[in-house]
Amino acid sequence: MTSNHRDRLSAAEIDKSSPLPYHYQLREILRAEIAAERWRRGDQLPSEHQLCDMFQVSRTTVREALDALVNEGLLTREKGLGTFVADPKFIETWTGSAIGFSDSITQQGYLIETQVLELDVRPAPLRVRQELNLQSHEDIVYLKRLRYILKQPILIVTSYMPARLFPRMTEIDFTVNSLYQTFRREYNIPVTRVKRSIEAIAADEDIAAQLDLPLGFPIMFIENTAYTNGGTPIEYYNAWRRGDKSRFQFEYSQPQPSGER
């Protein structure tokens, strides 16, 4: 860790008047350094003792912050050597809300770059017609994107939308616009529910080339159907995501039976 980096990190402060726990604040300060690439893969963090001095917090606070980032896959500990920035895994949290990939990743402080590979209107394949409840004569908007995080290709996604619901969608620049935000903002069609499945597969020749992986490399295949109000399906997508860069987190709440506390 350079002296310039240490000085910049020292300038960040724990807000002692904030209701947020100190370990949470420290965790977010360290996370921001990693997300901004001021710390890169393999860089060593200051020792626990140094972090205590820099932020005027207890060793317990420092350990809680570091433990959380280790559990998220952002940091790794090497016995006898210290704590280092890990080769990052990008967490997508699946909860009861229908949040998109862009929203989930950007909430972690990462910048997503998008390359649009194809965007046109075409006839719908049988599988797509079945998922979107389309008639045989109905066309779909087809969107294929390659998504990058930290300059690395992470995800290929092919989306299919009913053309009758999304006129002029081919005029939208999806290198800078989120698809789900476009549904809401441009068409007033919110995603209210999703049906999603995930399985581990081996990358075929085409997917391996696009994700810059060896043939047969483990990847995650995701199949998703998104619905709007009234249960109308509005998007069906297939996605191929690097397994070594991915971590999925599921959050569920258990409703309490009536009368229980």
The pLDDT of residue 259: 58
Among candidate residues 129, 161, 132, 130, the one with its CA nearest the CA of residue 144 = 161
The pLDDT of residue 40: 82
Query: Against a cut of 0.85, is the pTM above it?
Result: no
Nearest-angstrom CA–CA distance, 16 and 22: 8
The pLDDT of residue 8: 55
Q: What is the SS3 assignment for 54-99?
A: HHCCCHHHHHHHHHHHHHCCCEEEECCCEEEECCCCEEEEECCCCC
Residue 201 CA: distances (Å) to CA of 114, 158, 196, 242, 243 = 23, 17, 16, 10, 9
The pLDDT of residue 111: 79
The pLDDT of residue 129: 97
Among candidate residues 116, 113, 118, 173, the one with its CA nearest the CA of residue 141 = 118
Where does CATH 1.10.10.10 sit in the chain?
Answer: 3-85
Nearest-angstrom CA–CA distance, 152 and 161: 27
The pLDDT of residue 51: 95
Tokens of 36: 């901004």
The pLDDT of residue 156: 97
Nearest-angstrom CA–CA distance, 220 and 33: 28
34 alpha-carbon distance from chain centroid = 15
pLDDT lower than 50: segments of the chain = none
90-250 homologous superfamily: Chorismate lyase-like (3.40.1410.10)
Amino acid identity at 172? I
Nearest-angstrom CA–CA distance, 61 and 50: 13
Please give the helix or strand (H or E) that residue 131 lies within, else none.
helix 126-132
On whether the CB atoms of residues 38 and 115 are closer than 8 A, the answer is no
Nearest-angstrom CA–CA distance, 206 and 241: 13
The pLDDT of residue 96: 55
On whether the CB atoms of residues 73 and 89 are closer than 8 A, the answer is yes
Where does CATH 3.40.1410.10 sit in the chain?
Answer: 90-250
The pLDDT of residue 91: 62
Tokens of 212: 């810059």
Q: Class of the 3-85 domain?
A: mainly alpha
Q: Is 115 exposed, middle or buried (0-12, 13-18, 19+ CB in 10 A)?
A: middle
Tokens of 138: 């109905």
Nearest-angstrom CA–CA distance, 203 and 201: 7
DSSP string, 166-209: STTGGGS-TTTS-HHHHHHHHH-----EEEEEEEEEE--HHHHH
N-term to C-term CA, the chain: 50
